[in-house]
Structure 1
Amino acid sequence: MSPSVSTGVRWAALLLLSGLFGGLLQALHFPAGVLLGCMVAAILLALQWTPLELPKFVFVLAQAVLGCLMAQSMKPAALHHVLGQWPVFLGVNLLVIAAGGLLGWLLVRRHVLPGTTALWGIAPGAASAMVLMAESYGADMRLVAFMQYTRVVLVTAVAAWVAHLAMSVGATPTLHPPVAELPTLQHVFATLSLVVVSAALAQRLNIPAGGMVLALVVGTGLQALGVLVIELPAFLLGLAYAVIGWSIGMRFTRPILMHAMAALPMVLAAIAALMGLGLVLALLLVWLAGVAPLTAYLATSPGGADSVVVIAATSAVDAGFVMAMQLVRFLMVLVLGPQVTAWLAKR
C-alpha cells in the first residue's frame, strides 16, 4: 500500500479495524478490549501508511475522562484506605523508579543505544514528558519514544492478558466502571464540565498528563465534599478508551522501528526485567500486605497509568488501590524522574 493514501481512507481503515479488533476482544470479555483493539489497529496502519495524528486536545480530553473514572473509584472510604497505606505506596514506587534508573545505566554502559538515550527510554512512567525532555540532554528523541511506547504496549498487553486469565480461572464476574443505568442528566453535565475544564487548563498550562491529573484531583475533592456525583456514560468511556489506544499505536512508525531494530533485543530484555520487578513487588504486596493477587499485579505494572486504569476499571479488582498506586508512581516519575535521569546522564 502506498503511504500517499488519503487521510479519509486511512481514518476509515482505522475505524474499521478498531471496530473489528475491539469488538472481538470485547466478545472474548478481555479487559480493556476497546483500548487494546484500537491500539493494535493503529500500530498496524502506522507501520503500513503515513501515521494519522489526533488533535492534541482530543487526547487531553480522553485523559480527563480517565481522570474522572479514577476519581469515581476514590470514594471517601477508599481514599482513607489508600492514605493509611502511604508507606507501601512510597516504597513500592521508589523501588520501581530506582530499578528503571539502574537498567538505563546498564544499557548506557553497554553502549546499546547512543548517548544517554536508554536512561530516558526506560523510565517507568511519564512517557510523553520523558520523550520531550530527552532531546535537551542530547538523547535521540526517536529512540526514546520507541523505548517508552514499546514498554507501554507490552505492559498493557500483558496486564490485560493476565487480568483475562485470572478472571477466567477464578470464574469471577467482570466488574465494569460504575455507570448508572439511567444517568442523571445533571450529574452527567457536571462531569462533562469537569472534563472540559480540566482538559482546557491542562493544555493552557502545558501540564504533562494534566487532563488526567486535574480531573482526578478536583473530581476526588468535589466528590468527597458531596458537591459532585461523577457519572460517565458508557459511550463516553468507550470513546476515551479508543483515543488512548490510538494515541499509543500512532506513535509507532516504520522509520523508528528500522532505526531501533539492532537494539531491540536488549530493549525488550530491559523492559522484561522492569516487568519482572513489578511481579516481584506484587508478590510482596500479596504476602506482606494481604492485597489480592490481580490487584497487586495491576498496581505494580510499570506501564502507562491511563491504560492500566482502563484494565483495572474493567476487571474484578480493587480499582481504587490500583489507580492510586499508578497515580503516585506517575507523579513521582514526573517530579523525580527527570532530575535522577539528568544526574545519571551527566555522569
Structure 2
Amino acid sequence: MDSSPNPPAIEHLTRIHKAWQWPVLMVVSVLFAGALELAALPAALLIGPMLAAIAAGTNGATVRVPRVLFGSAQAVVGCLVASSISADIFPVFYKEWPLFLGVVMATVAASSLLGWLISRWRILPGTTAVWGSSPGAATAMVLMAGAFGADQRLVAFMLYLRVICVSMTAALVAKLWVDTSGIEVPAIVWFPPVDPQRLAATFGVALVGGLAGKLFRLPSPFFLGTFIFGTVIHLGLGVTMQLPPWRLALSYTMIGWSIGLNFTRAVLRHAARALPQIVGSIIALIVFCGGLAFLISRLLGIDPLTAYLATSPGGMDSVAIIAAAAQHVDLSFVMALQSARFLIVLLVGPSVARLVARSLRE
C-alpha cells in the first residue's frame, strides 16, 4: 500500500508549510468529490474529502480539523437525520408492523453475525467490524462508533464501501424490471432562498441538542443530542428545519477530513489486508437481504422490485431515486421499511456492539 500512487499535490505534505496544507487538501477534495459526483456514486460529498484526507494523512499532513468544527458538523448531521424522519411512515409501519419488524430484526441479526465473525477471526480489532457491518445509517454509525471504542477509520471504510456496493447493486437489479436509463438525480440548488424561521430553528436545535448531549454525557454528544432533541421538536411540534446543500457539504467535508486525516499507512495496510473479507461480508449481506425480498414477494404477493428495494441494506437516498422512477413500485412501502430499519439500527446499534464486545471477551 505504501507504493500506491497519490495525487502529486498530496505527496510529501510534511515538506509543505502547515498554512498551505489546507488549500492543497481543499483542492484535492473538490477534485475527488467532483469525480464521484460525475460517476453518480452516493455520498460523494463525504467520501471525496475523506479520500483526499486519507491521501494527505498517509503522506505526512499535520493539519487537523478543530474540535468545534467537527462538533458543529456532527450537530448538522443530527439535524439532517431528525428532519428526514417523516410522520407519514408510521401509518404504513402500523399496518405492516409484524412484517417490518421481522425483516429489520433479521437484517440486523445477519449483519451483526457477519461483524461478529470478522471480529472473532481477528480480521479487524474489537467491535469495529460490528459497527462497520451496520445495515444502514452509515454517517450516524461512523460518528457513534468512535465514542464506543471502535476504530472510526476502519468503520468508515467498511460502511461507505458497502453504501457504494449496495447502491450500485440496487441500480443493476432495477434494470431487470424497469428501464432506469432515464433516471436523473435532481439538480442541486446550492444556495436556496433563506427561510429565517426554519434556519433559526435549525441553529436552535443544533445548539440546544449539542449542549444537552454534553450535559447528559451522551456518546457522540453533538450528534446524538441534536438527533434526539431535533426528532422530538420535528415530530412532536411540527417544526421544520432548513439545511441548505452548501451547509451540508461543509459538514460532510469536516467529517470526511476528521476521519481521513487520522489514517496512517499502517491502518491503510490493515484495511487492504481485510478487503477480501469485508467485500465478502458485503456480498453475503446483499444476498441475504435479496433472499428476504424473495420470500416477501412469494409469500405476500408483493412486487419483486418493491420487495428488493425495501430490504436493500443501505443507500437509502439511491433507493428512493430508483423507487420513484419505477411506476409500479410501492414507494411508501419501500421508504417505510427503509426508515424503520434506519431508526432501529440507531436505537439498537450501540447495545448490539456492547453485546458482541462482551461475547468476544468471554
- C-alpha displacement at 1:338, in angstroms? 0.5
CA contact (8 A) 1:112 1:263 kept: no
Corresponding residue number in structure 1 for 2:306: 292
Structure 1 gap segments, 5+ residues each: 135-140, 302-307
Corresponding residue number in structure 2 for 1:325: 341
**Structure 1 residues 185-224: aligned runs within 5 Å:** 185-224=196-235
- C-alpha displacement at 1:204, in angstroms? 4.2
Aligned match for 1:338, one of 333, 343, 354: 354
Identity %: 26
CA distance in 1, matches of 2:320, 2:71: 19
- C-alpha displacement at 1:250, in angstroms? 3.2
- C-alpha displacement at 1:57, in angstroms? 3.9
CA distance in 2, matches of 1:185, 1:325: 33
- C-alpha displacement at 1:15, in angstroms? 0.7
Give the 3 Å change call, closer, same or farther, for CA 47–151 of structure 1 in structure 2.
same
CA distance in 1, matches of 2:358, 2:112: 10
Corresponding residue number in structure 1 for 2:46: 35
Aligned match for 1:2, one of 2, 12, 23: 12
CA distance in 1, matches of 2:263, 2:321: 26
Counterpart residue identity of residue 310, structure 2? A
Give the 3 Å change call, closer, same or farther, for CA 179–84 of structure 1 in structure 2.
farther
Q: Which moved more, 1:118-127 or 1:56-65?
A: 118-127
Counterpart residue identity of residue 344, structure 1? S
- C-alpha displacement at 1:325, in angstroms? 2.0
CA distance in 2, matches of 1:82, 1:179: 33
Counterpart residue identity of residue 199, structure 1? G
SS in structure 2 of the partner of residue 76 of structure 1: coil
Corresponding residue number in structure 2 for 1:148: 155
Corresponding residue number in structure 2 for 1:12: 23
CA distance in 2, matches of 1:238, 1:46: 21
TM-score relative to the length of structure 1:
0.75
CA contact (8 A) 1:36 1:157 kept: no
Give the 3 Å change call, closer, same or farther, for CA 261–75 of structure 1 in structure 2.
closer
RMSD, aligned α-carbons: 3.8
Matched, 1:22 2:37: no
- Give CA deviations for 1:184-217 in whole Å, capped at 9, x if unaligned: 2122111121122222332443423444444344
**Structure 1 residues 91-110: aligned runs within 5 Å:** 91-107=102-118
Corresponding residue number in structure 2 for 1:305: none
CA distance in 1, matches of 2:128, 2:262: 17
SS in structure 2 of the partner of residue 67 of structure 1: helix
Q: Which moved more, 1:249-258 or 1:319-328?
A: 319-328
**Structure 1 residues 236-251: aligned runs within 5 Å:** 236-251=247-262
- C-alpha displacement at 1:151, in angstroms? 0.9
CA distance in 2, matches of 1:55, 1:313: 34
TM-score relative to the length of structure 2:
0.72
CA distance in 2, matches of 1:327, 1:191: 21
- C-alpha displacement at 1:180, in angstroms? 9.6
SS in structure 2 of the partner of residue 153 of structure 1: helix
Counterpart residue identity of residue 292, structure 1? T
Counterpart residue identity of residue 342, structure 1? A
Matched, 1:157 2:164: yes
CA distance in 1, matches of 2:289, 2:128: 19
Counterpart residue identity of residue 341, structure 2? M
- C-alpha displacement at 1:6, in angstroms? 3.5
CA distance in 1, matches of 2:83, 2:254: 20
Q: Which moved more, 1:173-182 or 1:149-158?
A: 173-182
Q: Which moved more, 1:313-322 or 1:31-40?
A: 313-322
CA contact (8 A) 1:60 1:203 kept: no
Corresponding residue number in structure 2 for 1:65: 76
CA distance in 2, matches of 1:54, 1:83: 43
Corresponding residue number in structure 2 for 1:122: 130
Matched, 1:255 2:266: yes
Counterpart residue identity of residue 73, structure 2? A
- C-alpha displacement at 1:75, in angstroms? 3.2
Give the 3 Å change call, closer, same or farther, for CA 79–61 of structure 1 in structure 2.
farther
- Give CA deviations for 1:82-134 in whole Å, capped at 9, x if unaligned: 4544444533343334334433554466x4448xx365423434456555555
Matched, 1:228 2:253: no
Q: Which moved more, 1:261-270 or 1:240-249?
A: 261-270
CA distance in 2, matches of 1:87, 1:176: 38
